[in-house]
A = this chain, B = another copy of it.
Amino acid sequence: MNIADLEKSLSSDYLKNEMVGLMARLYPICRSITGKGFRESLNIIDDYVSLSVVEVPTGTDVYDWKVPKEWNIKDAYVKNSKGKRVIDFQKSNLHVVGYSVPIHKTVSLSELKQHLITLPEHPDWIPYRTSYYKEHWGFCMSYNEMMQLEEDDYEVHIDSELKEGHLTYGECYLKGQTSKEILLSCHACHPSLCNDNVSGMVLVALLGKYLRSINNYYSIRIIIIPATIGAITWLAMNEGCVTKIKHGLVVSCVGDPGKTTYKRSRIGNAEIDRAVEHVLKHSGDEYHIMNFSPYGYDERQFCSPGFNLPVGSLQRTPYGRYPEYHTSADNCDFVRPEYLYDSFKKYLSVINVLENNRTYLNTNPKCEPQLGKRGLYDSVGGQSDKIIDQMAILWVLNYSDGTHTLLDIAEKSGMEFCLVSDAANALIKNRLIVASEETR
């Protein structure tokens, strides 16, 4: 089976249900850049795609950084003097500032407020905050609830642990015909935030599940890592192998209703950039293209100047551009299965272009070959899809000169890649073109 066949065989309803199911399992978990929540998430994803789990000890040097202590949390609350939990970690894991150190004491309202973070512009939402590299404790809550707190003595309790341990990441390798790789990188270090982290995990888990059965040219490597420190750690552990990465995408924010956005790799016109842009241009949907900037998610590390990998970022509304971003409103209502499914299909189409994008040589480069005697010339005409096919045949013949890939030809002709690829297949069968020396 190839990807085009896979695309045809997929049941959108079944797949959307799978997506919703996995999302519902992953959403409630309290993840951070280290700790049990991260491991639990990998464990769930392993039901869909087989993962190797790597544990890197606290203190390991990774380039300019060190792997931090491992953080775990059991419970946290703020109780008023009547014993009522006015802030309760059990209700939302966003209530605790990530990496808060353990605390148990009684404080006045004014002291408490020094440790409270709210979002006055969205007074019903709980913000999401962390303090990975500075020891600190704090709570996040909605502005409206904060305003209702009265003068009182408050019992503050964070039952967390910050100590030597490990940073964990998961990796899935789908072996293809060659060791050349397509990298899909997804961060999984946020607690109950659905578009920003859960949607990416769902997408890569199901891409992995379905691509497993495909006989790909490229090997596919999926990594599920904590953002920033995880990408840095992964690169430090795998520095020798990154030249195998021929194309890559950072997967995040793929389930919101916004239009699809592609942020180019630092290279800017790498094959992955051109493939994604081709797919989006022919998708019929609105989309947005951004140049690389050294701000965002883990493309920052993959595209740092010492690596400069051909890794872009295919998302919907990008990092920080939707109001729900990093708040309790980024929940399972904000992410819709139809958008997740649409993103899934676009990823598949991109991989399909990469898989089939080759350079061919016309075996009769002087003048056109006689198509009629090979049944490739539609002598009747009239059916518009047939006519397009024939145009694709002429384009592939004319530009199969060893310097144009099929994607080049698709772009030059204005045709969709699959039409050009179908024409190429017909010409290969008739020995009118042959694959040129391995150039990809």
Compute how far the CA of A232 lies from the CA of B367 in the bound complex, rounded to whole angstroms. Answer: 6
Contact B305 A64 (CB under 8 A): no
Contact B367 A63 (CB under 8 A): yes
Q: A134-B379, A293-B413, A413-B293 are in contact. Are A301 and B399 (CB under 8 A)?
A: no
Binds B, one of A9-17, A142-150, A181-189, A389-397: A389-397
Nearest residue (CB) in B for A233 is B367
Which chain B residues border A368 with CB–CB below 8 Å?
64, 228, 232, 294, 300-301, 304
User: Can you identify 17 A-B contacts, CB atoms within 8 angstroms?
Assistant: A62-B367, A63-B366, A63-B367, A131-B379, A133-B372, A134-B379, A228-B368, A235-B366, A236-B367, A293-B395, A293-B413, A294-B394, A294-B399, A295-B391, A300-B394, A301-B368, A306-B365
Q: Is A401 an interface residue (CB 8 A)?
A: yes
Give, as a whole number of angstroms, the nearest-CB distance from A397 to chain B: 7
Nearest residue (CB) in B for A232 is B367
Tell me how many residues of A have a C-beta within 8 Å of chain B.
Answer: 45
From B64, B370, B399, contact of A364 by CB (8 A): B64
Q: Is A398 an interface residue (CB 8 A)?
A: yes
Query: A208-240 toward B: CB 8 Å interface, digit per residue (1/0)?
Result: 000000000000000000001001100110010
Compute how far the CA of A232 lies from the CA of B364 in the bound complex, rounded to whole angstroms. Answer: 12
What is the interface of chain A, defined by CB distance below 8 A to chain B? Answer: 62-65, 131, 133-134, 228, 231-232, 235-236, 239, 266, 293-295, 300-301, 303-308, 362, 364-370, 372-373, 379, 391, 394-395, 397-401, 413
Q: A294-B394, A295-B391, A398-B266 are in contact. Are A65 and B370 (CB under 8 A)?
A: yes
Q: A293-B413, A364-B64 are in contact. Are A398 and B303 (CB under 8 A)?
A: yes
Quickly give the copy total for this chain.
3
A232-B367, A232-B368, A306-B362 given; 20 more Cβ-contact pairs under 8 Å: A64-B370, A65-B367, A134-B372, A231-B367, A239-B366, A266-B398, A294-B394, A294-B397, A294-B398, A294-B399, A295-B394, A300-B368, A301-B368, A304-B365, A304-B366, A304-B397, A305-B365, A305-B398, A305-B401, A306-B366
Which chain B residues border A401 with CB–CB below 8 Å?
305, 308
Contact B231 A362 (CB under 8 A): no
Contact A366 B307 (CB under 8 A): yes
Which chain B residues border A134 with CB–CB below 8 Å?
372, 379
Which chain B residues border A295 with CB–CB below 8 Å?
391, 394
Give, as a whole number of angstroms, the nearest-CB distance from A264 to chain B: 12
From B293, B304, B364, B395, contact of A294 by CB (8 A): B395
Contact B367 A398 (CB under 8 A): no
Q: A391-B295, A394-B294, A394-B295 are in contact. Are A369 and B305 (CB under 8 A)?
A: no
Q: A293-B413, A294-B394 are in contact. Are A306 and B367 (CB under 8 A)?
A: yes
Nearest residue (CB) in B for A303 is B398
Q: Lowest 9 CB-CB distances: which A-B pairs, in order?
A: A306-B365, A306-B366, A294-B398, A305-B401, A294-B394, A64-B369, A232-B367, A305-B365, A301-B367
Nearest residue (CB) in B for A393 is B294
Which chain B residues border A307 with CB–CB below 8 Å?
366-367
